[in-house]
Amino acid sequence: MNYLEKYLCSMHDRKYCILTGNGTTSIYLAIKALNLKNKKIAIPNNTCMNVVLPIYFTGNQPIFLDIDRDSLDINYTELRKKKFDAIIAVHLYGNPCKIKKIEKFCKERNIYLIEDNALAQGIKINKSPTGSFGDISILSFGAGKTIDIGHGGAVMTNNKKLFFKMKLLCKELKSYSKENQFEISNLGLEYKRIYNINYGNNLNNYQQKFKRLAVSKKKYLLYKYSREYDNKLFLKLSKIKDLVKNRQINALYLFKILKEKDIKYLDFPIIYKNSTFWRFNILINKKRNDLLSYLLEKKYFVSSWYPSLDLLFEQRMTNRDTNSDKIAKKILNIWTNEQINKNYLDSIANEIESFFKKEKNE
């Protein structure tokens, strides 16, 4: 291992680490090293499409788990009822998931656990750092993450055999190139185009077409880490406590001023003070899509991730009344990273208040 991989091990209480091209590659290597094929792998239904794609790339079947309305976490009751061979436990939106309960459950049932720490790097759960749980854990250093260098990820484990398997698999990957970035960018634009047309309402109309397109991009989505990013990565890692603290200050300040405004159409999920706040989330109970468009037109950094993934990737047998769908139609994500300050947060809070005052008057 090089100095950065050793540094990441020390940060996450792990013995072994491999730098990868991105978080997608990290999940792919983890699944391959665990020898999972033609198996069922559970993931939360509201998460990034790059979590589900490695499941298809490795010849496995995703099991989409509903999420909890208040915590935006995997619905643990549903998790216990489903049958699967492995689970990718995601710290959704930077909030710590029930990883200790999930880990205990997996050990009891002999189920593999991959901890997806792409959004929550830099926090602890009962003194244990996120990224230290499960058979394998993964990181991402892509856009919007706690450590954002626009490239790279990592895969970590305490199992020496798994480490050497992933090391060999990593050698088979191609190096990162402009072609990779071009294809990834196009796929992302298509994902956003479909989503922006529908805002999560009728995504199943595009289901099989988008799935085929996404899976066909496998060779472009998997690649090695580029060492030219070493200095940038080390600099960001050395500042991780400040980066997390800044997000927490911004998110808690935004929560305070929005609560003081007492806007009746806003609900708040559970606020975790030890979250990294990948995004600050609000549930909008009236005209979410109109508010989203209004804020985007005014150039605010907002989004409405994530839609229910099973609408894009799997054929639903019934029209389930899920928390996933309800949240997808109500959620508004607001940026809280190091580019954001209190003046910006005051401004966006005022715009949200102004929007609903206009709605009331009309």
Q: Does the pLDDT at position 175 exceed 60?
A: yes
Q: How far is CA 216 from the centre of its chain?
A: 22
The pLDDT-based confidence of 203 (bands split at 50, 70, 90) is low
Q: May I ask the CATH architecture of the domain 3-232?
A: 3-Layer(aba) Sandwich (3.40)
Burial of 292 (0-12, 13-18, 19+ CB in 10 A): buried
Longest Cα–Cα distance in the chain = 65
- Taking the C-alpha atoms of residue 10 and residue 79, their distance in angstroms, rounded to an integer, is 31
The pLDDT-based confidence of 204 (bands split at 50, 70, 90) is low
pLDDT number for residue 31: 98
Counting DSSP H helices and E strands in the chain, the numbers are 15, 13
CB 31 within 8 A of CB 86: yes
Q: How far is CA 170 from CA 15, 26, 159, 223, in A?
A: 18, 9, 16, 8
Q: Does the pLDDT at position 76 exceed 80?
A: yes
Q: What is the pLDDT of residues 293-340, one digit of tens each?
A: 999 999 999 999 998 888 888 866 556 678 998 999 999 999 999 999
The pLDDT-based confidence of 200 (bands split at 50, 70, 90) is low
Range 97-102 average pLDDT: 96
SS3 272: coil
Q: Does domain 239-361 have CATH number 3.90.1150.10?
A: yes
Domain ranges of the chain: 3-232, 239-361
Q: What is the pTM of this model?
A: 0.96
The pLDDT-based confidence of 207 (bands split at 50, 70, 90) is low
